[in-house]
Amino acid sequence: MPKASTKKSKPQSKKAKLSLKKNELKSYRKLLLERRKELMDEMGELMKEQVSSTPRDTSGDLSSHAFHMADQGTDAMEREMAFMFASKSGRLVYHIEEAIRRIDSGNYGLCAQCQKPISATRLKAVPHARLCIKCKESEEGRNSAGK
Ligand SMILES: [Zn+2]
């Protein structure tokens, strides 16, 4: 009788694998959801102010971008969305949602650039981190140099 295999499947492969455990992922997910909620609340407040102030206020390119987008649809909802994505918190919410998606699809915690695992220290500080600290630093260096 031929034995199918002498050993059980190898416990670990050499390939960079996600070192995060299920419960760790869960806690990051919770953290992300909490932060997202905070931001949404914060933005809700901002939006109230924004809506009550003159809509053609041109203080800063961010709002002008938002209102350019709003021109395409006068829907209040669309304007809210435009404002959200034009604001810093809005982009953060976007990144947080992306991170939650990465958790769900199972590639959370890996650097989007070099595919190496992002350190736990970094994830704890920035749970929505997309890049490892090295790649992030080089990206920031590029950005500030290009300015
Ligand atoms: Zn990296």
Fill in the DSSP letter of residue 15: S
Tokens representing 127 are 């749970």
Tokens of 128: 């929505």
Give φ, ψ of 117 to 5 degrees. Answer: -65, 140
Gap from CA of 99 to ligand 1 centroid (Å): 15
CA 147 to ligand 1 centroid distance, Å: 23
Query: What spacing in Å lies between the alpha carbon of 142 and ligand 1's midpoint?
Result: 15
Q: Are 139 and 131 in contact (CB under 8 A)?
A: yes
Q: What is the pLDDT of residue 70?
A: 47
Please tell me the distance between residue 129's alpha carbon and the centre of ligand 1 in angstroms. Answer: 10
3-state class (DSSP) for residue 117: strand
Give residues whose Cβ lies within 5 Å of ion ligand 1.
111, 113-114, 132, 135
Q: What is the mean pLDDT of each run of 10 residues along the chain (147 residues)?
A: 54 56 93 94 79 55 50 67 75 93 93 94 93 94 68
User: Do 122 and 129 contact (CB within 8 A), yes or no?
Assistant: yes
- The string of pLDDT tens digits covering residues 52-83 is 665 554 444 554 455 555 455 567 777 777 76
Domain residue limits, the chain: 21-49+61-108, 109-147
pLDDT of residue 24: 92
Ligand 1: centre distance to CA 52 (Å): 43
